[in-house]
Chains A and B, each alone.
Chain A
Amino acid sequence: MSHLFEHNGAEGKGYSQPAPVLPSSSIALPPSLARKNLPRWPRLSEPEMVRHYTWMSKRNFGIDTGFYPLGSCTMKHNPRVNEVIAQIPGIADIHPHQPEHHIQGLLAIFHEMQYMLEVCSGMDQVTLQPVAGAQGEFTAVRCVQEYFRLRGETQRTKVIVPDSAHGTNPASAAMCGFEIVEIPSRVDGRIDLDALRAVADETTAVMMITNPNTLGLFEADIVEASAIVHDVGGQMYYDGANFNAILGITSPGLMGFDAVHFNLHKTFSQPHGGGGPGSGPIGVKSHLAEFLPGPLVKKRPPVGNESQMVIDDMWYGWYQPTHSIGKVQQWHGNAGAVIRCWAYYRRYGRGLRTMSEHAVLNANYLRHAIHKAAKEAGVDSMVRDGAEAKVAKHEFTLSLQPAKEMHGISAMDVAKGLLDKGYMAPTVYFPLVVPECMMVEPTETESKDTLDTFATHFAEVLQVDAETLHAAPITTPVRRVDEVYAARNLCLRHEYDDE
């Protein structure tokens, strides 16, 4: 199949440009500055370019293509009105250095988002600056680090994470310079309080944990865990990747957390775009608020001629926290993502709880339906729950360990079999604590019909013989890709023949 660099049509007329304001001959760069050879980019007409990308889009699977139960990623529907809103010039054509009186509407939305996230999380102050969940983690841990430095508690060099944590947790804490202490989970996948007590001491800076945890289970001992960490003077950090399960039902603040990040793209449906963009605001309790990256948005009554420029009787302005760690992105974060997520939240408003209720209902129903379908098909012995639990939250884990032992069918084989049924596969081999793990998250935007059909297809895949499944997928644009070959024969760009 063709790639971009095999196109080489007429000279560079993909789109026509107006003439420059002066002839190009007026440019006289010396040899030390002038480019000698232009980049060897392809030359495409607009129809060639449009066909190329349209062809590639047809070789890609998105939520719009089909059910996308990718655990931990919250792949809910992306309402299209949000895209329309993001194209309004009052966001698309705004420069972050414009003065406050040019962007009152944008700041009002920022303020509303800060407030919404504060009341949903039980935190006192939110910043919207971090642009991804991992950056939110990094930012929050940096704030805690500066908080301890200011208090002279420099002996706090350790960050505790459960072994079921997302990989970003230890990576973010390590980037801040902390030593990582990993504690084992209990056999039921939940936090082991004794293991936590054994490592928590005066060198503990932060414990990072997500609740519900990465197995989709609510950590009922979370208040006790917070108390253990607080008793030794440490801080509790909430990884908001699984926030979709608890909105309006409980909050990190009620659980005793001091800081939290939100994956706006997950919980509030910024399209994931094949890997990004995201948005990763953080919220903190008041003792950490003055360490946040600035600027934050604050509102106050207008003074002087500001009253002629207000949009809702209040003036929105930037505020620089006193002990701010500085910036983590050069501008004001992913403002365009924040706008889309504002539009998603407005759809629910004070009823955000129903969003989480439906997400949890769908997850539990799908878990039930998969076991039921497997039983009816006589393949229930091949799959078991990743962890024993009466109810899961917004996602759940399955273990294909029995299938592996009985027939040599791995979680990856089942995943590839599901691709042949027209689905995106669930997350596989995460969390690491569940053998042959498959992590399933349907989200609230799927219908019962979709869930029932998926369950039936899942059971059908389990009925397929091992040899056929090892060869799956067969209906996809390419078949199983050789990742070892890719790593051993590195080809990271197109090479021209003359090289």
Chain B
Amino acid sequence: MAEIHLDDLKKTPLYDRHVAAGGRIVPFAGYALPVQYPTGIMSEHKWTREQAGLFDVSHMGPSFLTLSHPGGEADADHAAIAAIIEPLICGDIAALKPGQMRYSLLLNDNGGVADDLMIARAPGADGGLYIVVNAGTKDADFALIAAAAGDKARLSRADGDYALLALQGPEAVNVMAQIAPAATELGFMTYGAFDWGTDRIFVARAGYTGEDGFEILVAKQDAEALWDSLLADPRVKPIGLGARDSLRLEAGLPLYGHDLGPSISPIEADLGFAISKRRREAGDFPGAARILAEREGQLRRKRVGLIIEGAPAREGAEILDAAGAPIGVVTSGGFAPSLGKAIALGFVPPEHAVLGAKLQVSVRNRAQAAEIVPTPFVPHRYFRKSK
């Protein structure tokens, strides 16, 4: 394998902070990022579940899509911008209320997932969308969105000029109350702009751990000050990529490039909820023929959650039926610190994708017992406001 030199990697605005904190720096999606800090993945994971973890996710792709010529009427402007992004995805963006955020999927013409992303309607009347895509796919995604926008809208990448921080865990809301009190009024999957001292920060109540929490976009020159302010709170510790992965796996959240990819459809990935009703009825998204047929039951494989006895089954491990015949493959697997056992996500044919089904996984050529269980493996604890 070719050696990757850290010098060739991009650094986030918080790189020096990670090094100073003893972070073990690894290459990830072209960036030099900490996989863990000195206390290790297990303690970082548990800290996030019990207190609040702070993640540098500046490698991701935050962006703003704004109309080139807004008419000034909020709903009409929103309808216009929704009409630009909707042909690429399967979500109902037109229906978003100001400040509302939605998880959606960028699709290719074969009905495969080109990326999963977050799209929020700007809270004010300025007719814009806030869009966050994955690090590994961001250049392709942004090219696609910019092409769809043409001269009707402008896509401004915020990666590079901003840092993106995630504050996650049951104490996150109490920590945020000290930083930007008004942001604690946000409900799960809503978004707004807030004052932080003399600066403006963009905050979404969302995350990738299954816990309550916030994702905070801050101008890069202010990133270290915000990072330091958050870490000054004894309830907050910095968390690396290792625990980010084990937390999202326990939360049953798919990881693009592993549990999602260009050949995997939303139905196969068990993300049917991301196909909004209006879009489904209209069938007006890329790959609709395949996706709607799969939704009616013509499905080759389906993503499931597995609890595994014994050694962790990692990505690529074969899933076997009870008799030992190969039926599928693990796409994410590891040890679940909150559960003290091995868990995995993987794909099996629909006839096997039954809760409670006793299967096996092959680890180092030995079959180990595995059972299909509901996901999330660890219950989500989002802060949902009653409507």
Q: Do A and B come from one complex?
A: no
A interface residue numbers (CB < 8 A to B) = none
B interface residue numbers (CB < 8 A to A) = none
